Amino acid sequence: MRIVSKILEIKDQYRLIIEDMPVLICSFLPDGKITFVNRTYCEQFNKTYEELIGSSFLSVIPKAKQKIMMDIISVLTPDSPIQSHEHPVIAPDGDIRWQRWANCAVFDDHGKLIAYQSIGEDITEYKRKQKIIFKKNRALKLYSECNKIIVHGKNESDILNKICRVIVEQGNYRFAWIGFAGQDKEKSVRAVARHGLEEGYLDNLNITWADTKFGQSPSGKAIRENKPVISKQIASDPNFRPWKEKAQKRGYLSNIALPLNFEDQAFGALSIYASKADVFSTEEIKLLEELTNDLAHGIMAIRSQKDVRRAEKTIRNERDKLQNVVNSIGEGMYLVNKDFVIEFQNNIIRDQFGGSVGQICYKSIFQRNKPCDFCLMQESINENCIKQLETDFLDQKHYDIFFSPFQESDKEIKSIIVMRDITEKNHLQAEAIRVGHLASLGELAAGVAHEINNPITGIISIAEILTDKFHELGGDKTIPERIVNEGERIGKIVKNLLSFARDKKEEYSPAHVNDILKLTLELVEKQISKDGIQISVNIPSDIPKIDARSQEIQQVFLNIISNARYALQKKYPKPHENKILKINGDKIKIGDKKYVRLTFHDKGLGISKDILDRVANPFFSTKPQGEGTGLGLSISHGIIKNHGGNLWFESQKNDHTKVIVDLPIHNGRSSQVKI
Alpha-carbon distance 384 to 405, whole Å?
Answer: 6
- Please enumerate in sequence order all residues whose Cβ is within 8 A of that of 246, keeping only pairs 6 or more positions apart, or say none: 201, 205
Task: Tabulate helix, strand, coil % of the chain (nearest 5).
Answer: 45, 25, 30
The domains of the chain are located at: 2-122, 140-326, 330-421, 435-504, 507-675
Alpha-carbon distance 640 to 642, whole Å?
Answer: 5
Confidence at 264, pLDDT banded by 50, 70, 90: confident
Q: Which of 39-43, 255-259, 315-319 has the highest mean pLDDT?
A: 255-259
Amino acid at 622: T
Per-residue model confidence (pLDDT) at position 670: 43
Amino acid at 288: L
Q: Which of 31-35, 307-311, 392-396, 409-413 has the highest mean pLDDT?
A: 31-35
pLDDT digits (tens, 9 = 90+) for 171-219: 889 999 999 999 999 899 999 999 999 888 988 888 899 999 899 999 9
Per-residue model confidence (pLDDT) at position 148: 82
Alpha-carbon distance 219 to 167, whole Å?
Answer: 17
Amino acid at 112: K
Per-residue model confidence (pLDDT) at position 672: 43
Per-residue model confidence (pLDDT) at position 370: 87
pLDDT higher at 637 or 452:
637
As a whole number, the mean pLDDT across the chain is: 82
Per-residue model confidence (pLDDT) at position 187: 92
Alpha-carbon distance 343 to 415, whole Å?
Answer: 10
Per-residue model confidence (pLDDT) at position 449: 62
Per-residue model confidence (pLDDT) at position 389: 84
pLDDT digits (tens, 9 = 90+) for 79-93: 999 998 898 999 988
End-to-end alpha-carbon separation of the chain, Å? 34
Residue 66 predicted with pLDDT over 60? yes
Per-residue model confidence (pLDDT) at position 294: 85
Nearest to 240 by CA among 226, 220, 225: 220
Q: How many residues does the chain have?
A: 675
Per-residue model confidence (pLDDT) at position 293: 87
Distances (CA, A) of 403 to 148, 375, 413, 414, 429: 22, 9, 12, 10, 24
Confidence at 673, pLDDT banded by 50, 70, 90: very low
SS3 610: helix
For domain 2-122, give the CATH superfamily: PAS domain (3.30.450.20)
Give the residue-averaged pLDDT of 457-483.
70
Per-residue model confidence (pLDDT) at position 446: 60
SS3 563: helix
Per-residue model confidence (pLDDT) at position 630: 55
Q: For strand 342-345 and strand 413-421, is the pairing parallel, antiparallel, or unpaired? A: unpaired
Could you tell me what percent of the chain has a pLDDT over 70?
Answer: 82
507-675: which CATH architecture? 2-Layer Sandwich (3.30)
Name beta bridge partners: 101: 85, 120
User: DSSP string of 376-433?
Assistant: -HHHHHHHTS-EEEEEE-TTS-EEEEEEEEEE-TTS-EEEEEEEEE-HHHHHHHHHHH
The DSSP output letter for 23 is: S
pLDDT higher at 113 or 479:
113
Nearest to 647 by CA among 315, 655, 656, 638: 638
pLDDT digits (tens, 9 = 90+) for 151-175: 777 788 888 999 999 889 888 899 9
SS3 33: strand
pTM: predicted TM-score of the whole model, two decimal places = 0.38
- Domain pair 2-122 / 507-675, same fold: no
Give the residue-averaged pLDDT of 214-227.
93
CATH for 140-326 is: 3.30.450.40
pLDDT digits (tens, 9 = 90+) for 350-383: 887 888 888 888 888 888 888 888 888 888 888 8
Give the residue-averaged pLDDT of 132-139.
72
To the question of domain 330-421 being in CATH 3.40.50.2020, the answer is no
**Do 671 and 507 contact (CB within 8 A), yes or no?**
yes
Amino acid at 317: N
Helices (H), 211-281: 218-225, 244-249
Nearest to 176 by CA among 272, 277, 280: 272
Amino acid at 651: S
Name beta bridge partners: 176: 195, 272
The DSSP output letter for 274 is: E
Residue 418 predicted with pLDDT over 70? yes
Give the residue-averaged pLDDT of 123-129.
85
Per-residue model confidence (pLDDT) at position 675: 37
Residue 674 predicted with pLDDT over 50? no
pLDDT higher at 337 or 469:
337
SS3 84: strand
